[in-house]
Chains A and B, each alone.
Chain A
Amino acid sequence: QVQLVQSGAEVKKPGASVKVSCTVSGYTLTEFSMHWVRQAPGKGLEWMGGFDPEDGETIYAQEFQGRVTMTEDTSTNTAYMELSSLKSDDTAVYYCAREVGFYASGSTSFDTWGQGTLVTVSS
């Protein structure tokens, strides 16, 4: 059974950094690309970035470039998303999502999601 289990809620002060983890089971992390999506309170889904197997690089949404880093530890089957220089606008639930297929293959979707991690940024 495929599962993505995320780390617990975080409270951070403006200017700080947060690192959210996503541990997968039921498959090996390197078999599929991992992406991160966030959702501010009462708002919609926002794609933050993910691994592009076509280029072998991690792609970040322009809004987060320079502030976000997505990494993976294959020894523990865990993906990480670190966001720095936090602002109150970064208060949101952060999801990891497994991508099945990829754009260049002509088929892609986010078929499995983590339970979400609430990050609250407040002074």
Chain B
Amino acid sequence: QSALTQPATVSGSPGQSITISCTGTSVDIGSFDLVSWYQQHPGKGPKLIIFDVTERPSGVSIRFSGSKSGNTASLTISGLQPDDEATYYCCSYTSASAFYVFGAGTDVTVL
């Protein structure tokens, strides 16, 4: 059972914007700005796309952005493209025993 809650699926049409939520608690997302997001295409390893809630690594498209409010972090993909079809995972540091926790993942479908 994942400690962070994500919707199972989110879909959108090309060019649209979508937002994926990631809900934690006061011992993880609510207390630390240490949320990262990973994109995983089928059969591939995860790729870092957002770190420290809002920061984008060099080379990652500006269409990806992150935010946080209270115990919930969010990933927004603007100008949706076919290659954005993948599974997205959030991750947070936690002061509970787990140290780092992931969400269960959200499958993004481009209609």
Contacts and interface: CB of A to CB of B under 8 A. Distances in A.
Interface string B83-104: 0000001010100011111111
Nearest to A116: B45
Interface residues of B, number: 26
A44 B2 contact: yes
Nearest to A65: B97
Of the listed residues A45, A50, A59, the one surrounded by the most CB atoms of chain B closer than 10 A to its CB is A45
Given A103-B93, A114-B45, A108 B104 contact: no
Of the listed residues B52, B91, B99, B103, the one surrounded by the most CB atoms of chain A closer than 10 A to its CB is B99
B14 interface: no
Contacts of A50: 99-100
Contact of B100 (A35, A100, A114, A115): A35
Interface residues of A, number: 26
A89 interface: no
A52 B98 CA distance: 13
B45 A95 contact: yes
B97 A62 contact: yes
B100 A47 contact: yes
B45 A108 contact: no
Of the listed residues B47, B55, B98, the one surrounded by the most CB atoms of chain A closer than 10 A to its CB is B98
B40 to A, nearest CB: 8
Interface string A82-118: 0000000000000101001001001111110111100
Given A62-B98, A111-B48, A106 B33 contact: yes
A52 to B, nearest CB: 8
A109 B91 CA distance: 9
B46 interface: yes
A46 interface: yes
Nearest to B2: A44
18 contacts: A35-B100, A44-B2, A44-B105, A45-B38, A45-B46, A45-B105, A47-B91, A47-B101, A49-B99, A52-B99, A62-B98, A97-B46, A100-B51, A103-B34, A106-B34, A108-B34, A108-B51, A109-B48
